Chain A
Amino acid sequence: MTRYPLIGYLAWAVLFGALFAWEGLALAGVTGIPSLSDVFRTIMRYEVGRWALFALWLWAGWHFFILGWHFLLRA
């Protein structure tokens, strides 16, 4: 595992923090801010959008939890 400076991880924390903060504002009912669910619902109005989101979700699961494991293909 490569080691990175803490600031690199901190940047990810800030980015996800911003996402969560924006979602929090939306869920608190601040006027004019759609929640992430609203954005996803808008994307999923077309089938292609639904497929894209499902593919993204599936890719995330495969990439993080499966890739690198070979139990299914073991001889």
Chain B
Amino acid sequence: MKSTSYSEKTLDHFRNPRNVGTLEGPDVAVGKVGNPVCGDLMYMYIRVKDDRIADIKFQTFGCGSAIATSSMTTELVLGMTLDEAMKVTRTDVADALQGLPPIKMHCSNLAADALHDAIKSWREGRRGETPEPPKVGEIGSSCGIPVSSPPAIEGADVLLGKGVYRNVEDPKAFIDKRVLIIDRGKPSVDIALELTKHTGRVIFMSPTKEPSSKDDPRTGLKRSDVKVIYEAEPLAVLGEGEVEKVRVHDLNENDEYDLFVDALVVLEQAGN
């Protein structure tokens, strides 16, 4: 079966999704599941009244079935008690959509999980909170910048001067290069912004979550041409005689992937 052989019902929910949007207020809880790296990210907002789901909205980044299952889930559980909603499974969602291509079953899993996460938030008293950005600063200083030395990057010493930089003296050396800059506080943010004048591809990688405070120097990267990756760190830099790619650890998904770059900047000194 093709990955896009969707039922009419699935296509209907994709074309006319029900309950798209967000909810706010003290009687609202939010659930989140997925990761853009995997191609799916969902938020499920529930308003609870008398232990029932009185209103529900969703936001989804994902494929056709990710959108359809989000929509279907909201329709299925609206009006249910929280206990009833907790029992809604991925099979229920897929069945309600007249089935899904086997390879897409994980998408329906996600929608049910996001709902269950929202109910869990509600029951744990996390109500009236906006989902993003989450709390920062788990590592190091007050604005979420790691002060301690980051873990050693395997291969960085071997490729030092061959695409690995400990400081940036001449930004012109980066013309037309794909540069990955590791978060080392404000100086690294400044370098990232400076380098966008010299190359079209600047990626900034931070181990912590997205900044929530305006005092965080990383907020300067919003609206810039820097591509930012949060909750990730470099494990190893790979290449024969020069930097070819960086093995990245996605901390959120606990997954690893390769990022092809020409240069890696890890500043010697961290700063705020």
* A associates with B: no
Residues of B within 8 A of A (CB): none
